[in-house]
Amino acid sequence: MSNASLAGRPLVPPIRPEYDHVLAPFVEAPVERVLPFSTRLWQQDWLRKGLIIVALILLWEGLARWQDNDLLLPGFGATMAALFDGLVNGELLDRVRISLVVLLQGYVCGIVLAFLLTTLAVSTQFGRDLLSTLTAMFNPLPAIALLPLALLWFGLGSGSLIFVLIHSVLWPMALNTYAGFQGVPETLRMAGRNYGLRGPSYVIQILIPAALPAILSGLKIGWAFAWRTLIAAELVFGASSGRGGLGWYIFQNRNELYTDRVFAGLVLVVVIGLVVENIVFAAFERLTVRRWGMAR
Amino acid sequence: MSFAAHRSDFAIAEHPESRARGSIRREDARARSPIAAEASPLLRIKGVTLEYRTPERVVRATHRIDLDIHQGDRFVLLGPSGCGKSTLLKAAAGFIRPVEGEITLDGVPVREPGPDRIVVFQEFDQLPPWKTVAQNVAFPLRAARALGRREAMERARHYIDKVGLTPFAESYPHQLSGGMKQRVAIARALAMQPKVLMMDEPFAALDALTRRRMQEELLSLWDEAPFTLLFVTHSIEEALVVGNRVALLSPHPGRVRAEFNSHAFDLTSIGSHDFQDAVQRLHSRLFEAAPESRASTEVSA
């Protein structure tokens, strides 16, 4: 930053002598070193996240003991006991099964519709306009807001649930898939056409795998939306259905002031969400997009 | 059965002196008289005008291009950016329809992309990232229904070996360097045994040392088993080294300014006097002042 030299004479670097070393083999220190065990351990995701969960459980248990009112806030121990009871006598498992069956029906229907809509959108201008208009209209609309209408149309039962589930999955899934297709590099498209691929085989062999990161994130978002929509919908109208799912279990037990069972139901909702996210989707990602270097 | 036709490739590949023999083959081409090459061209570009559309206007990329590419040519399209050389290559590959004129391959008009004209692009993302190197090379063979699964894999291995990537056959593209990815693309193109191999600035995104090595390898592959190559570049040196004939395109819109022979040059001749002369000649054509006025008289002629 010596402005004097800038302003004064022109910058002339000094002429230094040249040198030309013959380098001896490098032996002073190892080129690679193994990190210490503690550092490697701390890099494990599950360990750090597990510690956070343990801390939250301790906080919860502490609060519950300080409050000392099982009707308002049962502790971790009481919740686990209720959860254990529910799982052992089969009631909770049955509720989960009912919920998941409905959920999967809605989820799969939503995905299929999303693929149809996206295929239309990538192939025609009309499809593009249709997709962008529909998603702009319906994506912000909470699925649960359609429930009264669904009940009117499809009556009490799984038909209405599947209708709102489709609504919650279809739009985010279609948006993500479409964005994924749009993001396929032009060179890769040309390479695919160069092989003589066209029509459905072009979509299946080039577009879908190339858009898989976006499709996967659509599947994940769709799953989360569907799961929370289902539980909410069951809380609203499961009350009039004979065989309710997990949401209905929560609602029923709140009415009867079994707060520990309410907590057990909530814990199960969270756990199922975590398992699907961290085991099912994570395994799928590891086998596909991560292995291919398409996602970190 | 299908391998019988390619026995010669194998025979030459196994030959320890294949490089020496190949250079002789290129020497042969040097010795041939120019009139001897008056066979009918393999790829004929005849009066081709190409246009592309932006939201506001239609842009003329090339104007009435005439070029003949013969069997065994290493034909280079050389020009500054904006001369439509890549567009012309994509038209020859069938991705773009000419608005005027015709492109024929073996007398058959080119209408759409096809596996008889495989393109090696500049961009590294031309390789599907979800396929290993071996799968990447075998995939087009399967997709074009040229070969069964086993034969495709066998041929893929053969060409992967030719580009020296056998240790990486099971790697995914993201695990490879840029030069290795381009080698995969070249192996993939050669494995298809296209009538014309097209390369769109294939080495432009590589560092200088890798680029030099890739040029050398491309030439030695050609020496082993000559193929017809259409090669786009903006580098004068690369054009002279890789090509046996160089077409010089002028920009805005692309028109053919000149065609020069460059079969006498390879990587060893870069320092030579003749080579520098040729570079100078091309350089002066590329950077001449006001090409519009001069070229317009040529077109009307």
**Mean pLDDT (whole number) for A134-154:** 88
**Mean pLDDT (whole number) for A113-142:** 89
Q: Are residues B189 and B237 in the same domain?
A: no
Q: Are residues B199 and B83 in the same domain?
A: yes
pLDDT band, very low/low/confident/very high, at A12 (cuts 50, 70, 90): confident
Res B285: pLDDT: 81
Q: What is the spatial distance between Cα A35 and Cα A27, in angstroms, rounded to a whole number?
A: 20
**pLDDT for A130 beyond 90:** yes
Pairwise CB contact (< 8 Å): B130 & A193: no
Res A68: pLDDT: 85
For residue B177, tell me if it sits in a domain: yes
- ipTM of this complex: 0.77
Report, in angstroms and rounded to the nearest whole number, the Rg of chain B calculated over CA atoms: 19
Q: Are residues B262 and B291 in the same domain?
A: yes
Pairwise CB contact (< 8 Å): B126 & A294: no
Q: Are residues B241 and B111 in the same domain?
A: yes
Supply the mean pLDDT for chain B.
Answer: 78
Last residue of a domain, one of B157, B177, B193: B193
pLDDT band, very low/low/confident/very high, at A134 (cuts 50, 70, 90): very high
Res B25: pLDDT: 54
Res A110: pLDDT: 94
For residue B122, tell me if it sits in a domain: no
Q: What is the spatial distance between Cα B242 and Cα B235, in angstroms, rounded to a whole number?
A: 11
Q: Are residues B182 and B214 in the same domain?
A: no
Q: Are residues B244 and B98 in the same domain?
A: yes
Pairwise CB contact (< 8 Å): B125 & A193: no
For residue B138, tell me if it sits in a domain: yes
For residue B43, tell me if it sits in a domain: yes
Q: Are residues B77 and B53 in the same domain?
A: yes
Q: Do A291 and B132 form a contact (C-beta atoms < 8 A)?
A: no
B129 touches chain A (CB under 8 A): yes
Res B146: pLDDT: 67
Res B293: pLDDT: 47
Q: Are residues B105 and B151 in the same domain?
A: no
Last residue of a domain, one of B193, B212, B240: B193
Which domain does B57 fall in, by range? 3-25+33-116+195-299
Res A62: pLDDT: 92
Q: Are residues B202 and B107 in the same domain?
A: yes
The total number of structural domains that make up chain B: 2
Q: Do A265 and A246 form a contact (C-beta atoms < 8 A)?
A: yes
For residue B143, tell me if it sits in a domain: yes
Last residue of a domain, one of B154, B173, B193: B193
For residue B91, tell me if it sits in a domain: yes
Question: How does pLDDT run across B163-222, given as a tens digit for each residue?
Answer: 888 888 888 888 888 888 888 998 888 888 888 899 998 888 888 888 888 888 888 888
Res A56: pLDDT: 93
Question: How does pLDDT run across A48-94, given as a tens digit for each residue?
Answer: 988 998 999 999 999 999 988 888 888 888 899 999 998 998 888 88
Nearest-CA neighbor of B269 among B60, B69, B30, B11? B30
Pairwise CB contact (< 8 Å): B126 & A288: no
For residue B72, tell me if it sits in a domain: yes
- Select the residue from A184, A193, A195 to test the B interface by mutation, using most B Cβ atoms within 10 A: A195
Q: How many CB pairs under 8 A join A and B?
A: 66
Say whether B79 sits in a helix, a strand or coil: coil
How far CA A263 is from CA of A64, A234, A277, B231, B236, in Å, comes to: 12, 16, 21, 69, 74
Q: Are residues B48 and B172 in the same domain?
A: no
What residues of chain A have any CB closer than 8 angstroms to a CB in chain B? 185, 187-188, 190-191, 193-197, 201, 205-206, 209-210, 212, 288, 291-294
The CATH number given to whatever domain includes residue B95 is 3.40.50.300
**pLDDT for A239 beyond 70:** no
Give the one of B126, B129, B140 whose C-beta lies nearest to A293's C-beta: B129
Res B28: pLDDT: 55
For residue B121, tell me if it sits in a domain: no
Half-sphere exposure of A145 (CA within 13 A, CB side): 5
Amino acid making up residue B95: F
Residues of chain B short of pLDDT 50, as ranges, are 1-22, 30-31, 33-37, 291, 293-301
Q: Are residues B110 and B175 in the same domain?
A: no
Pairwise CB contact (< 8 Å): B125 & A187: yes
Residue of A nearest to B126 (CA): A188
What secondary structure, in 3-state letters, does chain A show?
CCHHHHHCCCCCCCCCCCCCCCCCCCCCCCCCCCCCHHHHHHCCHHHHHHHHHHHHHHHHHHHHHHHCCCCCCCCHHHHHHHHHHHHHCCHHHHHHHHHHHHHHHHHHHHHHHHHHHHHHHHHCHHHHHHHHHHHHHHCCCCHHHHHHHHHHHHCCCHHHHHHHHHHHHHHHHHHHHHHHHHCCCHHHHHHHHHCCCCCHHHHHHHHHHHCHHHHHHHHHHHHHHHHHHHHHHHHHHHHHCCCCCHHHHHHHHHHCCCHHHHHHHHHHHHHHHHHHHHHHHHHHHHHCCCCCCCCC
Question: How does pLDDT run across A181-222, given as a tens digit for each residue?
Answer: 988 998 899 998 888 888 778 888 888 899 998 999 999 999
From chain B, pick out residues whose CB is under 8 angstroms from the CB of A188. Answer: 125-126, 128
Res B221: pLDDT: 85
Q: Are residues B250 and B173 in the same domain?
A: no
**Mean pLDDT (whole number) for A120-130:** 88
By percentage, how much of chain A surpasses pLDDT 70? 95
Pairwise CB contact (< 8 Å): A293 & B114: no
